[in-house]
Every structure is written in structure tokens, then in C-alpha cells.
Structure 1
Amino acid sequence: MTQVAFITGASRGIGRETALAFARAGFDVAISARTVQEGEPSAHRLCDAQGVPLAGSLDSTAAQIRALGREALVVPMDLLDSASVVAAGQAVLAAFGRIDVLVNNAIYQGNDLNASFMALQPQTLERVFKGYVLAPMLLTQRVLAAMLEQGSGVVINVTSGAGEGDPPVAAVDGGWGYAYGAGKAAVSRVSGVLAAELGGQGIRAFTLNPGVVSTDALKATIGERGVLALRNGIAPPQVPAQVMVWLATAEQAPRFQRRTIAAQAFALEHAIVADWRTEVIV
């Protein structure tokens, strides 16, 4: 039986590369995000420094998955719309009948996400709560119900160093703000709870910190100066993507639960990818 991976936030960046990595590993893949077709307008869409919406869409990711010979299911989902989140989980299960791996990668990424503390508006925190706490909980609950019925499943929650430590510089200088840090701190707490409560029922849950990854979204949210400030470790998105496939498939992976896995160091330590650090990252 072909296994199914459901990757959220798969229109670009880490999510897209993770979807492709699972397809290469033989999975059929369901993908979700707000942007289905290239250039589609949406509220809070992330833009570059010139105000141009970032490229990427579910349709383009799906085409790449199908080119690899795997089935792709496009599922529109807006983290700020709880009904669409629940509907997305139901749509994947209706189409495939099972979900073997859920990767909670999607986050709210509006341009207000890294506002400085004194400039932070209540509505931003409300969106962060919906996008980082409520939506992943609703989706994971729905998927876990099916995983428990089938007796197995893997949940991977993608966190960030912002949820586990202080910024290297102020938000105005390219560091992260309170809203983003608070959102990712919530993400960091999910997998340990799932492992403790459901580990005896065939559920495995992991927390993955990709580290600094060279994506357009990173540059749009913290700017080129922020990227330079964080360059003590930077990798292409294929690195965390391949680590997630390893966590979902490797026999020895379960022992790495109940901790935050630093994807870049982990990838090198376990020879999951070739060393990329001599390459030029743009």
C-alpha cells in the first residue's frame, strides 16, 4: 500500500521541497496552502522588499510531484479560517483513505509578523494564535483520529530557533519579534505532548528546527540584513526536507522524539545529505 504524506505550506520554500522529498521517497502527497494558482491575490500575502508577492503555488508544486511519478492532491487551506483547516484534513482522508505522515509546516507570515514589541498590534497576535496554535491543533486532531484508527502515523512539527531562544539583534535590525517567537514557542511544545499521550498507540511525533534556510520567505520577513545576522548556519531547503523524510521512515528515528532536532547538524551527523556548506547559498 502506498503511503501518504500531507505537507502544509507547500506552495514554496521548505514546504515545497518537503513535498518533493516525500514524493521521491515513494509517497503520494497532499499539499496545502492559500495560493493555488500563481499570482492569486490573498490577504496577508507575503511580499518582497519591492512589494511584489512571492512566487510559488500549489499547482506548481503538484506538477513537480506528478513529474516524479507520484499522485498529488491540491487542498486549499487558510490557517486563519478554522473551517478551511478542518475541511482540508477531511479532503485528504476522503481522497486517499489514510494519512501516514503529517508535516505541520504552514505558518502565518504576514509582513507584520516581526513588528517590534512597542509597535505590535493585538490583531497580529490574534492571527498568530490562529495560525500557530489553533489551526495546527485542529488539523492534527483530525489527522490523528485517522492515524489512531490505522494504528500508526508520524507527525512532524516545524519550529524555529525563535521559539526557543532570544533574537541575536532587535526586530528592526533583522531579528525576530515577539509575535513570531511566541508562535513558534507554541509549536515547539506539541510533539512532546503527542509522544507522551499517544506514543503507545503507534504515533510518533517530532519537533524539527530547520535552522536558517535560504528561502524567499526568510528574506521577505527579516530582510537581507537579518539573513546576514543569522548566517552562522544557513542551508538550502532540501536539507530539512530530507531530514523529515528520514524521521518518517528510518527505523532508528523514534529515539529522537521528545527533543528539538536541529536539522542542519542532524543531517550531517547522520549522513542524510552531503555537506552543502562549501556551496554558495543565494
Structure 2
Amino acid sequence: MVEAQAISKQRVVMVTGASRGIGKAVAMALAEQGHHLILTARSLDGGATFSGTTVDDPLAGQGLSGSVSEVALQCRSLGVRAIAVALDLTDEQSITTAAEIALAEFGSVDTLISNAIYQGPGVNDLFADVPIDLLRQVIESDAVAPLILLKAFLPGMLTSGRGVFIHLTSGAATLAPRKPAGQGGWGLAYAMAKGAAHRIAGVLHVEHGAQGLRAYSLNPGHVTTEVMHMRAQREERTVTGEGPQDVATAVTWLVAGDPAACQLSGQEVVSRDVIQRLRNS
């Protein structure tokens, strides 16, 4: 068991997919807690476009707001070190380089928040329509890419005895959709990718929990995104869901290492359950 004093110290945290949405909210919340940050995204300085989630997504090519460099600047204004690093989930060399930059800058990374997911054709295509190469790309981007980072950071995590891994999971990891993709459900590639990544935390806990590593699958619930707003506007309907702040609060609680949080290592944790716990405490 990691001592509370060791758990609560200032950390070096990598947050993937930190340009906007959940990733940005998590980065800002961790900066407010005094943690140093490596923030990643496909592009550093804005101009990112949405790649769509199907082979014929009408929103493909739409511009996205914000940049990870802007988020890093906002975090630095809170008095922490924060760097922005380019990381493309579909490019193993890009992932490896991002890990090398993080280790060169900080020496070690004791906390990894795996938030980034592949956005592109194949995610929400019907199985009959998705080429196998796209299916493979979705799965490898969402389930294997975090492991490449973990491989790089694990030695330092185990040496410090205070490593934390949090993967943002989804109901698609464990549930069948009520409707097909395109009609309110999700694609097989997305379900397989999320299902595979969902198993990481439990195995890490069994293999390395005794060495102080805590690992979680964090279910954010139904959180609205910029793309969801874009799609709702195009379809002339109202978007539903919550903002990302509760997820950020749940992440900071897990990272801080409250005894109750330590007991949840290896399990799926639901953000709204954490918020309810904090309200009742």
C-alpha cells in the first residue's frame, strides 16, 4: 500500500487528447492542484479538423476550436510546468516520440490519463461497411496506443511506487447498443476498441498493485462534445448530455489517492458516482 504522503505529492501527468472537452477540463483541474503536465493532441497550434466517424460522414473536414498549446499556456498561468506535445494515435513513432519528449523534459511520468481516442472513418460504420484495415486502425489506436505510452512510463511508475493509470472508458466497452450505428448506436470497431482498452486497468492492478500502481477505467457518462453540438445543429435537434467538469473532478479525486479511491484500483469507476460520494462526504 502506498503511503498517503507519497500519493498526495506533486505529480507529473500526461493527459492525451487535451485540446478541448474532457481532456482540457482534466488538464486545467490537475494544474489547479499543482501537478506538472504533458498535454498531447494531433496538432499543437490549432487548425485541427474533424475527420468524421464514418466513411461518408458529412461533418468530415469541419474545423475544431482550440489547441493544446493554448491549454498548456493556460495551465502554466496557474504556476505549473506544462508542455504541449504532438501525438497521433495512428502513428507508433509519434507515440514513442511523445513519450521520449516527456521523459526528457521531466525525467519520469508517474500518471497517465488516457483520454484521446481515434476519430475517423470506421468508428461508427456498420460492420458490413467497414474495411478490415480501418477496423484494425480503430482498435490499435484506442487500445494499443495507451500501452505504448505505459511501456515507456512503467519503470518510473514502479520505481516511485505511486503510479496512476486512468483510461476513459465507455458503456460501449461492456454493453450492446440498442440500435445500429447511425441510428443511435455505435460501430463494432468502436465497441471492440473500447472493450479491449477496458481490460487494461484490471490486469495492471493484479500485476503491479503491490508495487503501488493504481489503475482505473473511468466511465465519464454522457458528456457533450463539440462534435455532438455540430451534429445536432446540422440535424436541427437539441443536444443532450453533461459538461466535462464532473469528469475532471473524478480524475483529480482518483489521482489524489483518497483511501476510498485506492480501494477502487483495478475497477470501473463512474464519474457521477464519484461526484455523489464527494457530495455525501
What is the TM-score with the length of structure 2 in the denominator?
0.87
Which structure 2 residue ranges, 5 or more long, are not aligned?
1-8
Q: Deviations over 1:150-203 (max 9, x none)?
A: 222111011101111012322111321111111100111000000000001111
Amino acid at match of 2:158: L
Q: Deviations over 1:95-117 (max 9, x none)?
A: 01122211011110114311122
Name 1:202's counterpart in structure 2.
Answer: 212
Residue 135 of structure 1 deviates from its aligned partner by 1.1
Residue 140 of structure 1 deviates from its aligned partner by 0.9
**Partner SS, residue 116 of structure 2:** coil
> Which of 258, 262, 271 is the aligned partner of 1:263?
271
Moved more, 17-26 or 133-142: 133-142
Name 2:243's counterpart in structure 1.
Answer: 236
Determine the C-alpha separation between the residues in 1 that align with 2:126 and 2:26: 31
**Partner SS, residue 201 of structure 2:** helix
Preserved contact between residue 171 and residue 177 of structure 1 (Cα < 8 Å) = yes
Determine the C-alpha separation between the residues in 1 that align with 2:20 and 2:137: 21
Name 1:279's counterpart in structure 2.
Answer: none
Preserved contact between residue 122 and residue 138 of structure 2 (Cα < 8 Å) = no
Amino acid at match of 1:251: D
**Partner SS, residue 120 of structure 2:** coil
Name 1:31's counterpart in structure 2.
Answer: 39
Determine the C-alpha separation between the residues in 2 that align with 1:224 and 1:168: 23
> Which of 128, 135, 139 is the aligned partner of 1:129?
139
Question: Is 1:163 aligned to 2:170, yes or no?
Answer: no
Which structure 1 residue ranges, 5 or more long, are not aligned?
274-282
Determine the C-alpha separation between the residues in 1 that align with 2:273 and 2:164: 22
The verdict on how the C-alpha distance between 1:118 and 1:221 changes in structure 2, with shifts beyond 3 A counting, is: farther
Name 2:130's counterpart in structure 1.
Answer: 120
| Structure 1 moving runs of 4+ over 3 Å | 44-51, 217-225
> Which of 188, 204, 229 is the aligned partner of 1:178?
188
**Partner SS, residue 235 of structure 1:** coil
> Which of 76, 88, 94 is the aligned partner of 1:66?
76
The verdict on how the C-alpha distance between 1:105 and 1:223 changes in structure 2, with shifts beyond 3 A counting, is: farther
Determine the C-alpha separation between the residues in 2 that align with 1:48 and 1:12: 21
Residue 87 of structure 1 deviates from its aligned partner by 1.6
Determine the C-alpha separation between the residues in 2 that align with 1:153 and 1:164: 26
Indicate the RMSD between aligned Cα atoms, in angstroms.
Answer: 2.6
Name 2:5's counterpart in structure 1.
Answer: none
The verdict on how the C-alpha distance between 1:50 and 1:80 changes in structure 2, with shifts beyond 3 A counting, is: closer
> Which of 211, 215, 221 is the aligned partner of 2:225?
215
Amino acid at match of 1:123: D
Name 2:14's counterpart in structure 1.
Answer: 6
The verdict on how the C-alpha distance between 1:155 and 1:220 changes in structure 2, with shifts beyond 3 A counting, is: farther
Report the identity percentage: 35
Determine the C-alpha separation between the residues in 2 that align with 1:73 and 1:48: 34
Residue 15 of structure 1 deviates from its aligned partner by 0.8
**Partner SS, residue 268 of structure 1:** helix
Preserved contact between residue 156 and residue 208 of structure 1 (Cα < 8 Å) = yes
Preserved contact between residue 114 and residue 222 of structure 1 (Cα < 8 Å) = no
Residue 75 of structure 1 deviates from its aligned partner by 1.1
Amino acid at match of 2:267: R
Residue 218 of structure 1 deviates from its aligned partner by 4.2
Preserved contact between residue 217 and residue 268 of structure 2 (Cα < 8 Å) = yes
Residue 53 of structure 1 deviates from its aligned partner by 2.2
> Which of 159, 162, 170 is the aligned partner of 1:152?
162
**Partner SS, residue 146 of structure 2:** helix
**Partner SS, residue 128 of structure 2:** helix
Question: Is 1:93 aligned to 2:132, yes or no?
Answer: no
Q: Deviations over 1:9-62 (max 9, x none)?
A: 1111111111111001110111011020111569x4779838412222111111
Name 1:141's counterpart in structure 2.
Answer: 151
